[in-house]
Amino acid sequence: MSRYFTKDHEWIDVDGDTGTVGITDYAQHQLGDITFVELPEAGKGVKKGDAVSVVDSVKAASDVYTPVTGEVSESNAALEDQPELVNTDAEAEGWLFKVKLTETGELDALMDREAYDNYVGTL
């Protein structure tokens, strides 16, 4: 499994043709306490860069953009009752949705962990 990152602070774990998407620990820290997560429906077609989800916090509401083109295959139902999972485990149990990739070449434009950490260090 490979993990990639965007400059908008999303991560995607890719396993075969499926990507699991969430926001980074840095992003959840910037947002503060998460109060609600709006999740996409399975079957929704998405294009790289589309706003697909919304994370509401005590500070602000923030769009979450899909890092790849494809079709949403699943959303993290646990977040409906426990949106705070995004705060406590943003890069694992707090994942937002899964997408079946149709344009795997788009992954080449994303950052690996080292590049992302270096990017965050410049902010």
Looking at 1-123, which runs of residues are DSSP E strands?
2-5, 10-15, 18-23, 34-38, 45-46, 51-57, 61-65, 70-75, 97-101
Reported pTM:
0.96
Going from N- to C-terminal start, the domains of the chain cover: 2-113
Question: What pLDDT digit, counting tens, does each position of 85-109 carry?
Answer: 999 999 999 999 999 999 999 999 9
pLDDT tens sequence across 26-61: 999 999 999 999 999 999 999 999 999 999 999 999
- The class of domain 2-113 in CATH terms is mainly beta
pLDDT score of 1 = 65
d(CA 20, CA 72) in angstroms, rounded, equals 10
8: three-class secondary structure by DSSP = coil
Q: Rounded to 5 degrees, what angle do the CA atoms 109, 57, 94 make?
A: 55
